[in-house]
Amino acid sequence: MGGPFTGEPAAAARDADRIDVFAITPEGEVRHRWWDGRRWVEWETIAGVPAGPTALSCAWSGDRLDLFVRCDDGGLHHRALPTPKERNG
């Protein structure tokens, strides 16, 4: 799936045609890619994640995808990502 990445990736599957994967790069960026039912979409950087991510987790709930990031500052940070409908207009 590409890399290199640090720590363990996180993944959530809404259904067989949508799987989201998140990983942290050695530079501290949180990257995201997903299976759209036909192919893996290229990695994208998630903007707005605080510096120093050390661990991450994600969860689907209905149409909502939540990303949780533990950072060097000891805080647990949350980011709600757009649904496929919101992303594609």
At 84 the pLDDT is 60
Q: What fold, for 6-88?
A: Lipocalin (2.40.128)
At 83 the pLDDT is 64
pLDDT tens sequence across 35-65: 999 999 999 999 888 888 899 998 887 778 8
Cβ pair 51, 71 in contact under 8 A: yes
Most distant CA pair in the chain: distance in Å? 39
Distance (Å, whole) CA 1 – CA 36: 15
Kindly report the backbone phi and psi dihedral angles of residue 84, in degrees, each rounded to the nearest multiple of 5, phi listed first. -55, -40
